[in-house]
Structure 1
Amino acid sequence: MTDPRPFLVGGEWRTSEKILDVRSPYDDSLVGTVCLAGATDAEDAVRFARHGFERTRRLPAHERIRVLRRLAGLIDIRKDEIAETITREAGKIAALARAEVERAVETIILSAEEAGRIYGEVIPLDLTPAATGRTGYLRRVPLGTVLAITPFNFPFNLACHKIGPAVAAGNAVILRPSSKTSLSGLILGELLVEAGYPEEAVSVVPCTTDIAEWMVQDGRIAYLSFTGSPAVGWHLREISGRKRVGLELGGNAAVIVDADADLPYAAERIVQGGFSGAGQVCISVQRVLLHRSVYAQCLEMILERTGALRTGDPRDQTVDVGPMISEEAAAAAEKKVREAVSGGATVLAGGTRAGTLFAPTILTDTLPTMRVNATEMFAPVITITPFDDFAAALALANDSPFGLQTGIFTNRLERAFHAFDECEAGTLVVNDVPTFRTDAMPYGGVKASGSGREGPRYAIEEMTEPRLMVMNRRG
């Protein structure tokens, strides 16, 4: 057995007596061991980051671009190793793990491009006689230290969505990866140092919740970027003090299929969007609303495609749906399905569990108040409901404490713009499922789904602030 993986504090690799086992969610086999950072290590990470920021904030754009381009190249060189690590520690099927690493490379490249586009502006101030001869010069400056707390479901790319923009803007970074997927986070920290970013400005600290919360509360942290559950995210915002906070939280995404939609395509995308990653995606398809005139036909297509899915070992290239992250998570999803059935819902597919493997599940005859609809499932479970009126379907989609992304399938332009006006979500996706995301787009939600936006350009705005100089041209 190999020695426990050390963690990174200000570019320095450290060990500790406290060890975390990282286990496969598929068969509970040991993937690796990780040293956990303690309180002293967290203090050092924050302190070193402050010193590192004095260097990073002065880095010219071409240096930040060079670091990010080199980081993208290093990730690409080690992409097979990183993808295998994701599959083993997160249970993500091999094809999706490879796709995640490829997206991570794109995210870092996008961040490099945006590092050269952090523009300012010249503001004429002489709008009143008292301001005659005065001009404003506005530019954006980095905030300081970015604390990035990342989840298990996209352990590498979501970390890149925080670290890439932070580096592009010239901030110091402290990454606290999920305890389920610390190994991939440590690889990213290693590569960022190798890419040439100032060492004091880079820390990756797997740690317990209490130490993570201590960092969240520390006034030396300038920006908290958190992706995870709504309960944890809003709690961290409450205790974060006056620092800026970006939250990318959960959802119970709805998709509306209108009468004129391309049904085979809609059915294919619904199945992919509902069951990819075992449904453990913030924008997984959860609530499907089908126009009554196409309900039976589209439902049959969805069931046919669901029945063709194979669940099992994520390392098996023929498997479509891997395990959920833990048996506790799978059992919680199973309990919600059983509650729905007890309340009158019908299981048309799946509904069964074997350890962490949860069969892709389709429910009908559900009510909006059932937990399979009203809460985030974060599991391979979708509910299907007929509707007669598009406006009523949109209202039902909006009837949620969440508002991350919504999808509609329609060929009527007026329906698309009506939904754009009325939908209560951060993004409306037309003729695709809400699970669609490309890494350049502004991504984030409203209501309980969070605040702020990710995507390199938009995250850079969150991680910088405008600074104004007023010039008085006397004489």
Structure 2
Amino acid sequence: MKMRPGTQTGFLLCGKEWTDGEAMEVRSPWDQGLLGKVTVATRKDAREAVTHAVASVRRTRALPRWKRKEILEDIAAALIEQKERFAQLIVAEAGKPVRTARIEVERAILTFKTASEEAIRLGGESIPLDLTEGNEGRWGLVQRFPVGPVLAITPFNFPLMLVAHKLAPAIAAGCPVVLKPAPQTPFTALALGEVILKAGWPEEALAVLPLANEDTAWLAEREDRLKLVSFTGSAAVGWGLKARSGRKRVTLELGGNAALILHSDWRGSDVDQSQALEAVANRVAIGAFGYAGQSCISVQRVFVERTIFQTFLWKLVERAAKMVRGNPADEATEIGPVIRPADADRIEAWVKEAIEGGAKLVEGGGRDGSILQPTILTGTRSGMKVYDEEIFGPVVLVEPYDYFEEALAMVNRSRYGLQTGLYTRDAGRIMTAFRELEVGAVIVGDTPTWRLDPMPYGGVKDSGLGREGVRWAIEEMTEPRMLVMAGM
């Protein structure tokens, strides 16, 4: 896989790199320099990929568990060996700060290692059926089988880790995959595809196809030989794909405007509390502004009990002002560029709209090309885009509350529900939040940005459908089948 200015890289189909066709330029989010070109697959190419995927189902389904485990272990080993190569690809394509890019590679390694373990745990269940007279000697066996070819669609912001979350469970389950990576970050996905095939996964069971969005939608709608569509991206696109996917299974990991609740009981004495608030402010700053806020669980709304509101707010301002912005290739950089200049324009416009609507700019608001200052707003409300929608930029809203139940209601006053962070020491409040919050996960003692890759991950409302995390994704990619035995 090459990525040099002017060099054209082909898409991956049946183990070969195909360069015939229209080329798409891939540019650096940092300086808009040309990174390289990639061949765009056509509908004909996509149909051919599906044909090969269908033909490979019998082979992938028959791969013994030890072989799937071995393939996944070899992929993880290759990523360990090539860690810096993949980190630099992520920096170049996605504009992710290099320290954060290395963490992404580590997360992908963990995902493949976890999948290697889950591949041999994929078992069944024996069920007694001699429960009524006349059924003596009857029993049943339930086992999970791969659903078949999977269409996987991934976004730009985690070009390795989120691809791993599609491919690792598919390999563990025995499902062929047609992968459509984000147009901004195709090279990382193509490099991973080469690693996977070199590890022994059947060539016809993996295609990595940079496709036009309309051709991807056509594939989801018209190609009934695909059995599952697994999409990570925006809510509007995800729900549109689901509406067009007919009888296919669909899993959606979509966006959010993740909230955090900070209650005054987080630490006891005044001295301890001051230190505790400083630690929380540090975590919020990283969760809200790291990688320019381009994560679906980036901290966007922070609700703070009024008695500690001002103290926390200024600690957050102090931490935000110290964050290093600049070239993502520099080791010190914490905040790099947003993925496109158009996204910087949108974020800037949303902040301006909020201020004109009565919000107060506490910190930031400036911009240098595609790099935005970490921005803190207060006095925001429902009806403002920064409050209602997913900003996907380095902007956080900080608002006070008087009663814990009020904070819960403020979190739920959203069409999204992915993850929520919660800082309180009270077990009753924790369980109330766990019961009442309309989200996929409640993270106690940390921000909603925290995620460990083996855990079940997904949301409710407009934030998605189904769960990722290796074990749960394997369940989505398999279906239970029952064998009933009589008189044996």
TM-score above 0.5, yes or no: yes
**1:376 alignment counterpart:** 390
Deviations 1:332-387 (A, max 9, x none): 11111011100111111111222211111000111122111111101100001000
Structure 1 residue identity aligned to 2:8: P
Across the two proteins, how many residue pairs are aligned to each other?
474
- Partner of 1:313, secondary structure, is coil
**1:248 alignment counterpart:** 253
**1:219 alignment counterpart:** 224
Q: In 1, Cα distance between the equivalents of 2:418 and 2:394?
A: 18
**1:236 alignment counterpart:** 241
**2:194 alignment counterpart:** 190
Q: Does 1:423 align with 2:428?
A: no
Q: In 1, Cα distance between the equivalents of 2:12 and 2:31?
A: 29
Report matched runs for 1:45-56 at 5 Å.
45-56=49-60
Structure 2 residue identity aligned to 1:338: K
**2:359 alignment counterpart:** 345
**Structure 1 contact 165–459 (Cα < 8 Å) conserved:** yes
**Structure 1 contact 11–201 (Cα < 8 Å) conserved:** no
Q: In 1, Cα distance between the equivalents of 2:369 and 2:130?
A: 70
1:2 to partner: Cα distance = 5.4
Q: Does 1:103 align with 2:117?
A: no
Deviations 1:149-171 (A, max 9, x none): 00000010000001000000001
Q: In 1, Cα distance between the equivalents of 2:281 and 2:184?
A: 32
- Partner of 1:131, secondary structure, is coil
**1:461 alignment counterpart:** 475
**Structure 2 contact 9–17 (Cα < 8 Å) conserved:** no
**Structure 1 contact 407–429 (Cα < 8 Å) conserved:** yes
- Partner of 2:358, secondary structure, is coil
Structure 1 residue identity aligned to 2:439: A
Q: In 2, Cα distance between the equivalents of 1:244 and 1:131?
A: 35
Residue in structure 2 matching 1:296, options 310, 324, 328: 310
Deviations 1:5-48 (A, max 9, x none): 11111222211230011100111001111111112211110000
Q: In 1, Cα distance between the equivalents of 2:179 and 2:117?
A: 22
**2:271 alignment counterpart:** none
Report matched runs for 1:303-342 at 5 Å.
303-342=317-356
Structure 1 residue identity aligned to 2:371: L
- Partner of 2:157, secondary structure, is coil
Q: In 2, Cα distance between the equivalents of 1:364 and 1:71?
A: 46
Report matched runs for 1:62-211 at 5 Å.
62-211=66-215
**Unmatched tracts of structure 1, length 5 or more:** none
Q: In 2, Cα distance between the equivalents of 1:210 and 1:11?
A: 25
**Structure 1 contact 7–35 (Cα < 8 Å) conserved:** yes
Q: In 1, Cα distance between the equivalents of 2:108 and 2:291?
A: 17
- Partner of 1:260, secondary structure, is helix
Name whichever of 312-321 and 153-162 sits farther off: 312-321
Report matched runs for 1:391-470 at 5 Å.
391-470=405-484
**Structure 2 contact 258–418 (Cα < 8 Å) conserved:** yes
Q: In 2, Cα distance between the equivalents of 1:281 and 1:196?
A: 32
Q: In 2, Cα distance between the equivalents of 1:473 and 1:356?
A: 71
**Structure 2 contact 6–34 (Cα < 8 Å) conserved:** no
- Partner of 2:265, secondary structure, is coil
1:215 to partner: Cα distance = 1.8
1:177 to partner: Cα distance = 0.2
**Structure 1 contact 10–49 (Cα < 8 Å) conserved:** no
Deviations 1:388-415 (A, max 9, x none): 0000101100110000001110111111
- Partner of 2:79, secondary structure, is helix
**Structure 1 contact 452–462 (Cα < 8 Å) conserved:** yes
Q: In 2, Cα distance between the equivalents of 1:401 and 1:340?
A: 19
Q: In 2, Cα distance between the equivalents of 1:87 and 1:449?
A: 27
**2:31 alignment counterpart:** 27
1:146 to partner: Cα distance = 1.1
> TM-score, normalization: structure 2?
0.96
1:272 to partner: Cα distance = 0.8
Deviations 1:51-107 (A, max 9, x none): 111200000100100100011111111111111011011000000111101110110
Q: Does 1:257 align with 2:271?
A: no
Q: In 2, Cα distance between the equivalents of 1:412 and 1:198?
A: 52
Runs of 4+ off more than 3 Å: none
> TM-score, normalization: structure 1?
0.98
Q: In 2, Cα distance between the equivalents of 1:390 and 1:17?
A: 58
**Unmatched tracts of structure 2, length 5 or more:** 267-275
Deviations 1:111-166 (A, max 9, x none): 01000111210001122224332101000000111111000000100000010000
Q: In 2, Cα distance between the equivalents of 1:311 and 1:139?
A: 52
Q: In 1, Cα distance between the equivalents of 2:168 and 2:257?
A: 28
After superposition, the CA RMSD in angstroms is 0.9
Q: In 2, Cα distance between the equivalents of 1:122 and 1:17?
A: 52
**Structure 2 contact 90–188 (Cα < 8 Å) conserved:** yes
Q: Does 1:275 align with 2:281?
A: no
1:172 to partner: Cα distance = 0.4
Deviations 1:290-322 (A, max 9, x none): 100101111111011001012111111121100
**Structure 1 contact 258–290 (Cα < 8 Å) conserved:** yes
Q: In 2, Cα distance between the equivalents of 1:304 and 1:259?
A: 20
